[in-house]
Structure formats: C-alpha cells, structure tokens
C-alpha cells in the first residue's frame, strides 16, 4: 500500500512539473511576439498616475510603417511628456481622442498632437520644444494658473501661454485649435522660427491672444481672434495679435520676416500691433500685415510703434485708420477704413460708408 501511494505521488509531481514548464514556454513565446509601441507618452512626474492608453496596432492603421501612433482612452491628470521622435514620412501621432490632460510637453521631433482638451495647467498648457511638430484641433482653456484662476488675480505669477513654441523650436504648425480663457497669452511663438499659426479660434485670454516674440519666419493667417471684455489687464482688454522683441540672454534681435495675413480680429484693445523692441538695436524687419479685417477695437486697429525696415501694411479693412509712429521704412497702401455694425464677437458684418477712406 505504501509503495502504491509513493508511486501515485511521484506521478503527480512529474505531471505538475510538465504543466509549469508548458506555461513558462508559452509566456516566453507570447512576450517574444508581443508588439511594443515605439511612441513614449509618460507623465512628467512619477507621483501622478500613469495614463491608460489604447494603442493602435499596425493592422488598424494605414501607411504607418513604424506603428508609432497612440490614442488616449480616458482622462488623466498630470503632464504628458512626449519624448519620442518620428520621421518626416511617418511622424509620431498622439491622439487625445477628446479626453483631458492637464499639460502636454513635446520634446521629440516629427510629432503631431491632436484632439486633446488641455486645462488647469500651471504654465504653458501645450509646450513645444521639439522640431517639426504639429499641434492641431485641440481645445486649450483655463490654464496658466500661475497667474490665478477664473479672475487671473495674480498677474505677476508668470507669463505662460495656452500653446507655446519655445526657444529654438522650428518648423512648427499650430492649426485649428480653440484657445480661450487662459490667464496668460493664448498662442505664442517665442524665440522660434519657421512657425505657421493658422485657422485657430483664439479669444478672451488674459494677455495677448496671439503673440510673436523675437522670432522669425512666423506666419499668422486665417485666425479668428476676439475679446468680449471678461478679462481686463490694467483695465484694458487684451491685444489681438502682437509682434514684439523682448530681450533674452544670448538670443539678440531676431524679429524679422513675419506676417499677419487674412485674420479677423474683433473687440480687442488693439487689433494688430508691432511693439517697441526692448533692445537698443531692435527693429521691425520685413513685417507684412495684409488682408486682415479688424473691427470694434477699443484703441487702434493696426499700429506700428518701432523703427521699421521694409514693413508693408496692405489691403486691410478696419473701422479705424492705420497708425505708424515711425513712417520711415514702411509702406502703407490700399487699406480701407469703413464703419462696422454691431455683431456677434466671433463674426464681423460691415457697412460701407458712402465714401471709402483709403489710408495712404
């Protein structure tokens, strides 16, 4: 009897060992065959919960040989740090899928960030530090909380932006976004170059709605910008679009070859403005302001406040005349001053006066 029991126990031990071996082999095989995405989307700080992502497999995507696209599947608090780089033919595409993130930071190149809702970020809501980056179809709101929340009651906290192309970034496209009610700038290009800001709707940001600062080859076109008066900084509404040249260490004077084309600006303190350079040798060099429609500004519609070199203001329609503080180096031609009728802030209807005034 004892011998039979020992034989049975021995058989059981052998059987269990075989089963465990099979399981281990299967696990190794599955791990070897598992698809690992090349994109890297992680929280900036480990103290926050890691995001839950729906990873799109290669079979579900066309023309993505590197299979490096990712899609959110739920809201996640924290900052998304996108470090991975794609290529010109196959960029890394991070699709927010309509979910909410607190902040997004892009350090990789050849990256597209789209369909996010970004809100409650302390400073820059979407910060671009890489090259060949596209930020499109996002909603950015209620951020730059370093300057306060709701009422923006701490204006000395810092000057973040809803969307920011930051120092050294280049070949950036910011397109089709809605950027509003942030306690800083709306969209900003700062010490960056080869930037396209187009087709965005930007309104009621505490500082300038679209801000081009000490940058070059920046095109601002086909945007809708408006101000309802809910935010007043020092008693004034924000400016619609501004070209500035602030002083930054080791950057010098690099404001040149920028343009504002076919934008619509309504209800802001000033429409499109070139500000005085903070640098003694600073100039506004080869700025083009053309084909814009600017109405219901509290102050001037278009104004140049600094020394100009080959600046052109042409073919704009506004209800106030163009102002040029330093006429030398600028050409102002074909602009039309007409009267505007009250209308919803996002759109402008105009009534032509009996005699059009072309500003020389």
189-228 pLDDT, tens digit per residue, is 999 999 999 999 999 999 999 999 999 999 999 999 999 9
Q: Which residue has the tokens 């608090």?
A: 77
Contact partners, residue 283, CB within 8 Å, separation at least 6: 253, 255, 277, 306, 307, 308, 309
Asked if residues 98 and 73 have their Cβ atoms less than 8 Å apart, the reply is no
Closest CA to 316 of 348, 339, 289, 297: 289
Q: Is the pLDDT of residue 1 over 80?
A: no
Task: Give the pLDDT score at 350.
Answer: 54
**pLDDT surpassing 80 at residue 33:** no
User: Out of 136-150, 255-269, 329-343, which region has the weakest mean confidence (pLDDT)?
Assistant: 329-343
Secondary-structure class of domain 116-359 per CATH:
mainly beta
| Spatial contact of 116 and 106, defined as CB atoms under 8 Å apart | no
More confident call, 51 vs 199: 199
Q: Are 242 and 201 in contact (CB under 8 A)?
A: no
> For 7-21, 269-283, 291-305, which range has the lowest pLDDT when averaged over its residues?
7-21
Query: Confidence band (pLDDT; 50, 70, 90) for 231?
Result: confident
**pLDDT the model gives residue 68:** 76
pLDDT for the residue numbered 176: 98
SS3 274: strand
| Beta-carbon count within 10 A of 29 CB | 10
Please name the helix (run of DSSP H) or strand (run of DSSP E) that holds residue 7, with its range, or none. Answer: helix 2-33
Distance CA(64)–CA(203), nearest Å, equals 36
3-state SS class at 145: helix
How far is it, in rounded angstroms, from Cα 357 to Cα 360?
Answer: 9
Q: How many CB atoms lie within 10 A of CB 168?
A: 12
Q: What is the number of other CB atoms lying within 10 angstroms of the CB of residue 163? A: 30
d(CA 323, CA 171): 32
Lowest pLDDT segment from 144-148, 207-211, 237-241, 292-296: 144-148
pLDDT bucket at 348, cuts 50 / 70 / 90: low
Q: Report which DSSP code applies to 13.
A: H
Q: Answer whether residue 275 shows pLDDT above 60.
A: yes
Phi then psi for residue 7, to 5 deg, are -65, -40
263, 288 contact by CB (below 8 A): no
Q: How far apart are CA 225 and CA 177, in angstroms?
A: 12
Binned at pLDDT 50, 70 and 90, residue 186 comes out as: very high
User: Mean pLDDT over residues 320-326, rounded?
Assistant: 95
Contact criterion met (CB below 8 Å) for 160 and 124: yes
pLDDT of residue 344: 54
Q: What is the model's pLDDT at position 279?
A: 96
31 vs 128, more confident: 128
- Alpha helix positions (H), 210-264: none
Please name which of 158, 208, 149, 209 lies closest in space to residue 179, comparing C-alpha atoms: 209
Q: What is the mean pLDDT of the chain?
A: 82
Q: Which of 240, 136, 140, 246 is nearest to 197 (CA)?
A: 136
């Amino acid at each position: 009897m004892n011998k039979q029991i020992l034989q049975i126990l021995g058989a059981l031990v052998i059987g269990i060992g075989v089963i465990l071996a099979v399981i281990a082999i299967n696990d190794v095989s599955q791990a070897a065959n598992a698809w690992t995405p090349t994109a890297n989307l992680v929280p900036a700080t480990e103290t926050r919960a890691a995001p839950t992502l729906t990873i799109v497999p290669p079979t579900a995507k066309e023309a993505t040989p590197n299979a490096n696209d990712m899609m959110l599947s739920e809201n996640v608090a924290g900052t998304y740090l996108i470090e991975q780089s794609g290529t010109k033919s196959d960029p890394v595409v991070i699709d927010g899928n309509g979910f909410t993130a607190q902040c997004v930071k892009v350090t990789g190149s050849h990256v597209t960030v789209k369909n996010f809702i970004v809100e409650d970020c302390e400073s820059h809501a979407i910060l671009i530090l890489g090259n060949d980056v596209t930020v499109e179809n996002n909603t950015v709101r209620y951020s730059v909380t370093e300057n306060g929340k709701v009422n923006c009651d701490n204006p000395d906290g810092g000057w973040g932006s809803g969307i920011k192309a930051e120092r050294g970034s280049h070949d950036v496209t910011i397109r089709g976004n809605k950027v509003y009610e942030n306690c800083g700038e709306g969209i900003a290009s700062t010490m960056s170059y080869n930037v396209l800001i187009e087709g965005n709707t930007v309104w009621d940001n505490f500082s300038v709605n679209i801000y081009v600062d000490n940058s070059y080859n920046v095109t601002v076109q086909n945007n809708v910008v408006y101000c309802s008066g809910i935010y007043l900084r020092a008693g004034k509404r924000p400016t619609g679009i501004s070209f500035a040249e602030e002083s930054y260490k080791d950057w010098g004077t690099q404001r040149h070859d920028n343009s504002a084309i076919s934008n619509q600006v309504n209800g802001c303190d000033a429409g499109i403005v070139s500000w005085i350079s903070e640098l003694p040798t600073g100039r506004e060099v080869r700025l083009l302001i053309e084909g814009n429609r600017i109405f219901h500004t509290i102050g001037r519609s278009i104004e140049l406040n600094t020394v100009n070199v080959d600046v052109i203001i042409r073919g704009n329609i506004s209800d106030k005349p163009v102002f040029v503080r330093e006429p030398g180096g600028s050409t102002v031609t074909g602009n039309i001053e007409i009267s505007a009728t009250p209308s919803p802030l996002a759109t402008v209807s105009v009534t032509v006066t009996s005699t059009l005034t072309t500003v020389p």
